[in-house]
Amino acid sequence: MNGKFGPPRPAIPPEEDDLRKLLPRRPVRMRDPQSIEIVDRHHVTFDEVLQLRSGGILAGFTLAYEAYGKLNDDHSNAILICHALSGDSHLAGYYTDDPEEKPGWWHEAVGPGKMFDTNRFFVICSNVIGGCRGSTGPSSIAPDGKPYALRFPVVTVDDMVKAQTYLMDYLGIKTLFAVAGGSMGGMQALQWAVDYPDRVRNTLFIASTPVSSSQNIAFNEIGRQAIYADPYWNHGDYYDTPERPDAGLAVARMVGHITYMSEQSLEAKFGRRLQEKTELTYSFETDFAVESYLHYQGFKFTERFDANSYLYITKALDYYNVADGHGSIENALKKTRCNYLVISFSSDWLYTRPQALELVRPLENLGLPVEYHHVEASFGHDSFLVEVETMTEIVGGYLNRQWQVSHDEAITDDQRNHANVDLHN
């Protein structure tokens, strides 16, 4: 035996070593010290019954999550980032070293020295209940051994947040330094502040709305109708069949994707450019590059998303109104105790500046601490993902300032405690 490392390995014959050098090597991704590298997706199952806003229940549920950075000794540096409709727990990094693999959905925002600085913060992202990326949803197996399908109970943003509290308890996090999110993620962040005011110090509400508008509901309904019209949807019962309602889901994604962009960004990216041809065909073939782009986006979406989950999550979006049960948005905010950062974008016509102000104005009326930024950007709703430099300046700067404030407060509290001890001695 060669100590604790076991027997020595036999030497590689010279001729075999030469052959190895001739074999093609699998390419691997170059390491970037400023980026999150290889990550794992974790799963935790809770046996508790989750009571839902609709009156339904989940008799036990699983949440998929990823975490980045290190939780400090007093567990005061945790940030929960909540994802949007088509997102999941894979916020940043990669699962393999394959250079062709795409990173997490907000990769540029998370890492050492980035917007969400993992040298300072412990960053968590979980897949919402009702989703299809590791957390319990309609494609999950029900207690009877069959997929839930449409037997899955209707869930709301409130329910998504309630499930996340179980994960925070599991991780030993009593108070979150911040909850952040864009789009539906912003709704979850706001609901955290309202439902669990003692557990949130800062709420980052980005490109979102405190109440879904009729236009928001209308676009979601178009997507759902596309899925219903797909004959393979089969009233949601398709998990044991070879065909899936991919055509309907793809159309739903195409409609949704248009709302994430702006007319300006579409014109800049495509204009009236033709797709792999020099003249119009005057047929029903794909003539324009923008058509081909939407087809591709729809197809790629069907590879990673479940049609029933799309139905459930868009319904949760439609139902969202932070004033529910409170009478008004202002009443809903009265018991909140956190600081707020609210960001809207000039070209975002999905969740507009007036919708952001529906949150900002009541906060100001209540005298609650709110910092509001309206950003000039041309990428539409997706600006919060694309405008990395601007967002890093606003969000990263805000988090750093709030962290310094909390650090100074902790020092002051320690000094006060020491003074009290001295007085009693």
Write out the catalytic residue numbers.
Answer: 183, 348, 381
Please choose, from the candidates 295, 293, 80, 281, the residue with its C-alpha nearest in 3D space to the C-alpha of residue 193: 80
**One-letter identity of residue 199:** R
Residue 291 neighbours by CB under 8 Å, 6+ apart: 275
Main-chain dihedrals φ then ψ at residue 394, nearest 5 degrees? -75, -55
Token reading at 360: 């900002």
Q: Please spell the DSSP secondary structure of 305-368, one letter per residue.
A: --HHHHHHHHHHHHH-BTTTTTSSHHHHHTT--SEEEEEEETT-SSS-HHHHHHHHHHHHHTT-
Number of Cβ within 10 Å of residue 172's Cβ equals: 9
Token reading at 75: 């567990």
Please choose, from the candidates 339, 341, 344, 350, the residue with its C-alpha nearest in 3D space to the C-alpha of residue 387: 344
CA distance linking residue 281 with residue 322, whole number of Å: 50
Please choose, from the candidates 376, 369, 404, the residue with its C-alpha nearest in 3D space to the C-alpha of residue 391: 376
Please answer whether residues 236 and 308 qualify as being in contact, where contact means their C-beta atoms are separated by less than 8 angstroms.
yes
Please choose, from the candidates 130, 307, 301, the residue with its C-alpha nearest in 3D space to the C-alpha of residue 236: 307
Residue 26 neighbours by CB under 8 Å, 6+ apart: none
